[in-house]
Amino acid sequence: MELDPADAGALRADLLASGFTASGLRQLWGADADAAVMRGQLLPARMAVARRGTADARSTLARLFVLGDTVPEKVLATAIPQLGVEGAARLGLVEPLTGADQGSLRALVSMKPHTFLDAGGAIDWWIVSDLDEAVTRGPLRPDHVVGVGGASLTLLGLQPTARVSRVLDLGTGCGIQALLARRHADRVVATDISARALQFAQLNAAINGVEGIDFRLGDLFQPVAGERFDRIISNPPFVVTPRSEEVPTMEYRDGGRAGDDLMMDLIAQLRSRLTHGGTAVLLGNWEYHAERDGLERIRLAAGRAGLDAWVIERDILSDSQYSETWIRDGGVLARTDRFDELYRSWLADFAARDVDRIGLGYLILRNPASGTPSLSRFERLHGALGADDTGLAGHLVACIAAHDWQVALTDDELLASRLTVAPDVTEQRHYWPGDEHPAVIDLRQGGGFGRTVEIDTALAGFVGACDGELPVRSISDAVAELLEADPAELRAELLSQIRDLIEIGILLPGTG
């Protein structure tokens, strides 16, 4: 793969001119087929393109780089007039076929258009990666470079967008996280243990016209020894993989360590790589052992590292579910001898180490500006998320800022403050038939994590009066009078609940 900036610029111009964009492909084969492509099912899109019976530039590029079809050399030359077929070959995108298929080309890579949305607005990019198993119909190579999948999209939605000086993308893969980070940072360093991944990442930056990213080869923090960053983002090779000869090392998902040691190593080193107040946003997996809770193990690791921590477990898989997921992810078909061989190795490894489940989730870790950690939140939120097209980043940042605000206040200062209810919060009451008073009162969050918080009558009365007009003390005392309760006792009871509602974004900080 030769990377000539002129070739990358010519390709970008051709892609734009052809309408080879995410919205363009949805128009080409329809929303249903587009969703199927996202699931790795190409047949609906292939049939839709065939029904159209056209060979315009958009169709040609979609057939070649998304569906994995071969196309005549002359047809591709027409589709990319500025780059040309020779330029596409120089970039490592295509190769000619021989024999009976001479005169046609096949794609060496996948190139897919994507539209991403963050607080800075929408952006259209093209991401080049290795062909996946939907096209190759076989196991992936050990140095396979993945494109944009579910994990990538999750981390994109978690990336903070406040402007910072320096960002590290640890384990950049195809480079998509680094591209997004560059929108909100003066400089980005992107590292990976895979030389092939860095080649793809550099190509993607060039095609999309993104400059200011420093690509470096190496394991974990070795390429940035002695440097600190305002923000670290990482979709690391966290997959818990047996260390046996039967199981190949897949660079994109396997950090080469036993169990979840990579996650523990990463957490242990973060504070020395972050500036004071700097934040790391990571995806991760953690093991549950027979007598050791996985989320608790992560909590202890963050505590030992001296980090502020907010960790959200989004799912949990049994040892068999986890094994099946990642064996299939490597392109090995179920109910084959090879699948069974790998399955046996994974289950034997888990059994030998008393691992029965694996947790999957997000980690937001911070080097405390004060030097002393104050944020320690470890949650299992396995349900549906709230609605937010730009992802969770804005909600997480706002909640952490709210935490910092409330934790700095004494109880008397909080009682003097004014609060409002977040605009996405609604209240729901449930009654037994014929009863005058509700049996259950819930606060429901429309955005963020879509939380449902069960509250009692006193807290419901308090929250209902939070419109920014009256201080907390006045509202609490008014509720106490209505309930014929002791004002001081009710204030003491409500304060910890109020602090928690502030921290999860249901009550918004006001001014005292």
Pairing of β 229-234 and β 164-170: parallel
At residue 511 the predicted structure's pLDDT band, cuts being 50, 70 and 90, is: low
Q: Report residue 2's pLDDT band, with 50, 70 and 90 as the boundaries.
A: low
- Distance between CA 261 and CA 254 in Å, rounded? 11
Eight-state DSSP code of residue 220? T
What class does CATH assign to 119-370? Answer: alpha beta
How far is C-alpha 233 from the geometric centre of its chain's CA atoms? 10
Do the bridges between strand 440-445 and strand 452-455 make them parallel or antiparallel, or are there none, so unpaired? antiparallel
Nearest to 407 by CA among 302, 305, 496: 496
- Write the CA distances from 232 to 164, 228, 229, 281, 364, integer angstroms: 11, 9, 7, 6, 10
Higher pLDDT, 391 or 461: 461
What fold does the segment set 404-509 form as a domain? Outer Surface Protein A; domain 3 (3.90.930)
Q: 3-state class of 245 per DSSP?
A: coil
Q: How far apart are CA 295 and CA 301, in angstroms?
A: 10
**Collapsing DSSP states into helix, strand and coil, what is residue 128?**
strand
pLDDT at 323: 95
The two three-digit tokens of residue 190, written as one number: 């992107």
- Please give the average per-residue pLDDT across 479-487, as a whole number: 96
The span from the CA of 193 to the CA of 237, in Å, is 10
Distances 339 to 138, 220, 287, 318, 410 between C-alpha atoms, Å: 12, 30, 23, 18, 59
Interval 229-266: pLDDT, tens: 999 999 999 999 998 888 888 888 888 888 899 999 99
* Half-sphere CA count of 247, side-chain side, radius 13 A: 25
Q: How far is CA 255 from the centre of its chain?
A: 18
With tokens 């523990």, the residue in question is 264
C-alpha distances (whole Å) from 505 to each of 342, 406, 452 are 44, 12, 12
CA angle 122, 124, 128 (to 5 degrees): 140
The confidence score (pLDDT) of residue 334 equals: 87
Question: What integer is the mean pLDDT of 169-189?
Answer: 97
Please report which confidence band the pLDDT of residue 340 belongs to, taking 50, 70 and 90 as the band edges: very high
Mean pLDDT (the chain) is 94
Domain boundaries, the chain: 5-108, 119-370, 404-509
pLDDT of amino acid 101: 85
Reported confidence tier of residue 291, pLDDT bands at 50, 70, 90: confident
CB 490 within 8 A of CB 462: no
**H or E segment at 135?**
helix 133-136
pTM metric for this prediction: 0.94
Rounded to whole angstroms, the Cα distance separating 357 from 323 reads 10
Please report the pLDDT score of residue 1 as a whole number: 60
Comparison of pLDDT for 53 and 313, the residue scoring more: 313
pLDDT tens digits along 71-118:
999 999 999 999 999 999 999 999 999 988 899 999 999 999 999 988
Q: Which of 47-56, 275-284, 491-500 is predicted least confidently?
A: 47-56
| β-pair type (213-217, 185-192) | parallel
Strand, helix or coil for residue 233: strand
Arithmetic mean of pLDDT, 455-465: 96
CA dist list (Å): 487 to 59, 459, 483, 494? 71, 13, 10, 10
CA distance 464 to 470: 12
Q: Give pLDDT, residue 121.
A: 86
- 120, pLDDT greater than 90: no
Specify whether the CB–CB gap between 507 and 423 falls below 8 A: no
**Residue 144: its pLDDT value, please?**
93
When pLDDT is averaged across residues 494-502 and rounded to a whole number, the result is: 97
What percent of the chain has a predicted confidence (pLDDT) above 70?
99
Take residue 443 and report the two structure tokens written for it.
Answer: 């606060």
Do the domains 119-370 and 404-509 sit in the same CATH topology, yes or no? Answer: no
Whole-number pLDDT of residue 512 = 47
pLDDT > 90? residue 350? yes
Q: What is the mean pLDDT of residues 142-165?
A: 94
Instruction: For residues 133-145, give the mean pLDDT.
Output: 90
Please give the average per-residue pLDDT across 152-169, as a whole number.
95
pLDDT tens-digit series, residues 228-237: 999 999 999 9
Residue 498 has pLDDT above 70, yes or no: yes
